[in-house]
Chain A
Amino acid sequence: MVQFEVTVNVEGGLHARPAALLVNCSSQSQSKITLSKGTKHADGKSILGIMTLGVSQGDTLTVQIDGADEQNVATAIQQLLEQSS
């Protein structure tokens, strides 16, 4: 399992479009992916779940990935969240 913290730089936070792009990336993976903001957790493969976290630009998320391709997915997700648009 890999776990890392990431500051979300996506403009406007994780609204529909970035959440969809994230799920598009995570759903290609066999790993279990969990995003956490404070005490709230969301399945990294659920668009509505991710949007429900209410992530604003500048928030810090904890990402947990567990599975065979966890390293690759971790890199991809980190890049997605750190980029500004």
Chain B
Amino acid sequence: MLRSLFSRKKQQQEVTFLAPLTGTVLPLSEVPDPVFAGKVVGDGVAILPSADTLVSPVDGKVTHLFPTHHAIGLSTESGLEILMHIGIDTVKLNGKGFTPFVSVGDQVKAGDKLIQFDKSVLENAGCPIVTPIVITNGDMVAEKNVVAKATVQAGQEPLMTVVLK
């Protein structure tokens, strides 16, 4: 019994997410949008950014870049799907204030620049800038641990680890 538990543990794959933004780490429940706060989109964590560049948390592929460039989806080789949504209600900015560095289909490495955004444009439009980072196919996840301390540096420090089923 014990042995089978151990051997199973060894086969499990763990994915470490680097912090995709510099800023303050918050639980999803503090995101002012019921769909994210209620984990309807997926489980994860949020960052209140203090700098303006979103980088990739993992090695993967850009599977989705909304035409308005306010949200990006990535897939890892192991099949995890990650959605990062810069700010809340930012779809209404229609792309204003967002500059993407990547396109759909691009391979990215953890730490690569994805999107730059102008915080003042978001704030002037009345959009909260807190950014949810969620796993949209949570059925693959056995365990999620936020390992970051209160504040993180983009691309430098781990944000969370995810153990795959």
Contacts and interface: CB of A to CB of B under 8 A. Distances in A.
Interface of A: 12-13, 15-17, 19-21, 23-24, 46-48, 51-52, 54, 56
B55 interface: no
Given A21-B35, A46-B136, A16 B63 contact: no
5 contacts: A12-B91, A23-B40, A24-B40, A54-B66, A56-B67
Nearest to B33: A17
Contacts of B120: none
B20 interface: no
Contacts of B63: 48, 52
- For B41, B71, B85, which residue has the most chain A Cβ atoms within 10 angstroms? B41
A54 to B, nearest CB: 6
B138 to A, nearest CB: 10
Contact of B71 (A16, A24, A46): A16
A20 B41 contact: yes
A36 to B, nearest CB: 17
Interface string B49-72: 000000000000001101110110
Contacts of B111: none
A16 B137 contact: no
B73 interface: yes
Given A47-B136, A48-B136, A16 B35 contact: yes
A51 B64 contact: yes
Contacts of B44: none
B136 A21 contact: no
Contacts of B73: 48, 51-52
- For B35, B63, B70, B75, which residue has the most chain A Cβ atoms within 10 angstroms? B35
Contact of A16 (B41, B75, B81): B41
B65 to A, nearest CB: 9
